[in-house]
Amino acid sequence: MRILIVEDDKDLNRQLNDALTQAGYVVDRTYDGEEGHFLGDTEPYDAVVLDLGLPKLDGLSVLEKWRRAGRVMPVLILTARDRWSDKVAGIDAGADDYVAKPFHMEEVLARVRALVRRAAGHASNEIECGELRLDLRAGRVTVAGMQVKLTSHEYRLLAYLMHHRGKVISRTELVEHLYDQDFDRDSNTVEVFVGRLRKKLGGDYIETVRGLGYRIGEPT
Ligand code: CA
């Protein structure tokens, strides 16, 4: 799951980056509205954390431009406390949720987690496929109740497939959602991670759909 952070406060930007990375997301980040708008317009993000007060182009304008162009990724806006009018304007402009500054990082994490899973059509923080279970809050994977230890890359890959359970996901889509923009994107690495995941999970959870990609769970 790939997240974009648009926040001009350098400390806050870094704290958000650290917390989201720690939570298993791939993060791209930027400090101004113009570049933020460009990235959100051209890269496939699973969610965006967008500050409203930004240099070059303010957050509300960024959001309005995305929505007018039909970009539907979930957007969490960061607003100043007590500025209720910002919240209303943000939601009217197409924000999915907001957090008022100063905030607890846990709250941002919980809201991002909820946005990402709801966008993929999941009502709860646990996604299951047979005996395979992904607990999004704990970042934990179990098979038949036994915890499976995964590396961060393996976890991201599995989490993406589980969020889109039943759908065939192409290698290209996986690469786009598992790595940040600076990563050397070699789709062969996806095959390597799928191979490792299959060994660790046992069973036939990850199906290869010849010529198309990978799928977990029954076809939808
Ligand atoms: Ca700001």
In angstroms, what is the span from residue 112 Cα to ligand 1's centroid?
Answer: 19
Mean pLDDT of 43-48: 96
In angstroms, what is the span from residue 63 Cα to ligand 1's centroid?
Answer: 15
Nearest of 104, 114, 1, 93 to residue 50 by alpha carbon: 93
Give the model's pLDDT for residue 100.
94
| CATH code for the part of the protein at 126-216 | 1.10.10.10
104-134 pLDDT per residue, tens: 999 999 999 999 999 999 989 999 999 999 9
Mean pLDDT of 4-28: 97
* Confidence label for 188 from pLDDT (cuts 50, 70 and 90): confident
**Burial readout 66-99 (b: 16 or more C-beta within 10 A, e: otherwise):** beeeebebbbbbbbeeeeeebbebbeebbbbbbb
In angstroms, what is the span from residue 121 Cα to ligand 1's centroid?
Answer: 31
Number of H helices, E strands in the chain: 8, 11
Domain layout of the chain by residue ranges: 2-119, 126-216
CATH class (in words) of the domain with range 2-119: alpha beta
**What predicted TM-score, i.e. pTM, was given to this entire model?**
0.89
Whether 214 and 194 have beta carbons less than 8 Å apart is answered as: yes
